[in-house]
Homo-oligomer: A and B are copies of this chain.
């Protein structure tokens, strides 16, 4: 039983995450790696492209042979062959005055250093082509290794893998890639008043909302949700479910009522979990103050407020940053942020960081949308459904005036 209730600041909360370490790595085929975080620096083992290639359909030439040519004074070159796609151009060797038919992507023959586009040539006779525009050395050619030299750093550790990044690895024959494992996040809703969403609640009971909401937020943040279902307010049962879930999970999200009794209850459960240590007994954020954090080794145990708006704010402010830390990224929000203009004064109390749910309304003639607060009790869902994001108001700020430019964190 802990009556002592010390709030920490959001900055102190986030600072705790430095003591958690990124999860171990796994090796994935490229088609499963999009959006995952690279666990090692990737170095090219060979050159890309592996040979000098034409970027055009035309004739591979020695550029010097075309110098000074024009429409009125064409350069006549003897065509000594064609480089069919996928065959080696290096089997051929250009002598001065010679040209070879080549296609986009084809390998240049030996001694060729440029390609004349077919549009700037004319057939002269069966074995001769007339070139009427000169090319500089290197023109219309991608040099061997121009994209990446052997030994070059391709991608840095900690990078979120995008389609083009996977394309490079593919081009270099690196068909698997080491990435950090996705955090496994166990989710438990507690409360004697809860029934599963597929049941009709008897009088006094309601359907579980947090399990569905939290699982979707976990998946959006790149984690794997492990749904533990619902559990009544039974200390021993909750303790045993949590202790067992932590065998597999990297993180536990326990949501209960937002009442004082529930908070104490969750603290007692976390304190009873083997080798656990309490870290946070509340945070100076609104909504979301009665948040609890404990740890068991590198595993994090969150006691989330039961009110859905509070739980959502705490998820985006703290759970998601820790999931990012687990995944090998910085412990930052990682949410898109845009600028908007307040459409009305928005009050806020000094001493806590406030997250106001806002709708964004495009404004005629302004590049910035209006931020319109969506007020409502933190137990209600409809304000969250209507809102586009959260407007943070710092703890030393006593609200915002109308017409002020402010940042808005967009819901993902």
Contacts and interface: CB of A to CB of B under 8 A. Distances in A.
A57 B167 contact: no
A197 interface: yes
A175 B216 CA distance: 14
A85 B191 contact: yes
A151 interface: no
A312 B166 CA distance: 13
| Total copies of this chain within the assembly | 2
Contact of A216 (B83, B166, B259): B166
A78 to B, nearest CB: 22
A192 interface: yes
A59 to B, nearest CB: 13
A199 B173 CA distance: 7
Contacts of A206: 49-50, 53, 105, 171
Contacts of A411: 162, 164
A148 B382 CA distance: 7
A136 interface: no
Interface in A22-42: 30-31, 34-35
A107 B257 CA distance: 14
Interface in A185-218: 191-194, 197-217
Interface in A135-153: 142, 146-148
A56 interface: yes
Contacts of A154: 385
Nearest to A191: B85
A286 to B, nearest CB: 14
B105 A306 contact: yes
A259 B197 contact: no
Contacts of A307: 55
A123 interface: no
Given A86-B204, A207-B170, A377 B142 contact: yes
B105 A257 contact: yes
B212 A259 contact: no
Candidate in A198, A232, A306, A385 with the most chain B CB atoms within 10 angstroms: A385
A261 B103 contact: yes
A379 interface: yes
A191 B48 CA distance: 18
A149 B163 CA distance: 45
Contacts of A31: 212, 215-216, 225, 227
Contacts of A50: 201, 206
A51 B199 CA distance: 16
A365 to B, nearest CB: 16
Contacts of A339: 367
Nearest to A155: B385
A208 B259 CA distance: 59
Interface stretch (A4-12, A87-95, A394-402): A87-95
A75 interface: no
A347 B242 CA distance: 61
A35 B35 CA distance: 15
Given A118-B260, A382-B147, A167 B107 contact: no
Given A31-B216, A104-B258, A173-B207, 5 more contacts: A34-B219, A50-B206, A107-B204, A167-B384, A170-B208
15 contacts: A84-B192, A86-B193, A89-B204, A105-B193, A105-B306, A142-B379, A147-B382, A163-B212, A164-B312, A164-B381, A164-B385, A166-B212, A167-B384, A170-B197, A170-B208
Which 4 pairs from chain A and chain B are nearest by CB? A88-B203, A167-B213, A163-B216, A86-B192
